[in-house]
Amino acid sequence: NAGVTQTPKFQVLKTGQSMTLQCAQDMNHEYMSWYRQDPGMGLRLIHYSVGAGITDQGEVPNGYNVSRSTTEDFPLRLLSAAPSQTSVYFCASSYSTTGPYEQYFGPGTRLTVT
């Protein structure tokens, strides 16, 4: 199993550009989520999904869109990049939405918006 994979590893965008961060998992996990990590702020939840076709907002959803057409994939779209979106982005998945299952994290995407 590859686990949770993310692409790209690094990305530089100009203000106003759009892009999609890819996330895939091969563990047949129901639950998937996107976090951003900023120094001194821990991880903050952007969006999450409890299954294919079902998504919901987390703490900091503004400026981001998600969709979940398959169990495996959960892309994160930046609609119009802003410098405030400079961050490290992590995708995570978990076996189920019920039960105390830990989350598995991808390696992250480091995004810089200039």
> What is the contact surface with other proteins in residues (CB under 8 A)?
4, 31, 33, 35, 40-45, 48, 50, 58, 90, 92, 94, 96-108
The CB-of-50 to other proteins minimum distance in angstroms stands at 6
When the beta carbons of 16 and 107 are compared against other proteins, the nearer one is 107
When the beta carbons of 10 and 14 are compared against other proteins, the nearer one is 10
Q: Which residue has the tokens 């702020």?
A: 41
The CB-of-52 to other proteins minimum distance in angstroms stands at 15
CA 80 from centroid of its chain's CA atoms = 16
Q: Which residues touch 73 (CB under 8 Å, ≥6 apart)?
A: 22, 23, 24
The CB-of-33 to other proteins minimum distance in angstroms stands at 8
* Helix, strand, coil share (%) of the chain residues, nearest 5: 5, 50, 45
When the beta carbons of 17 and 52 are compared against other proteins, the nearer one is 52
Strand, coil or helix: 75:
coil
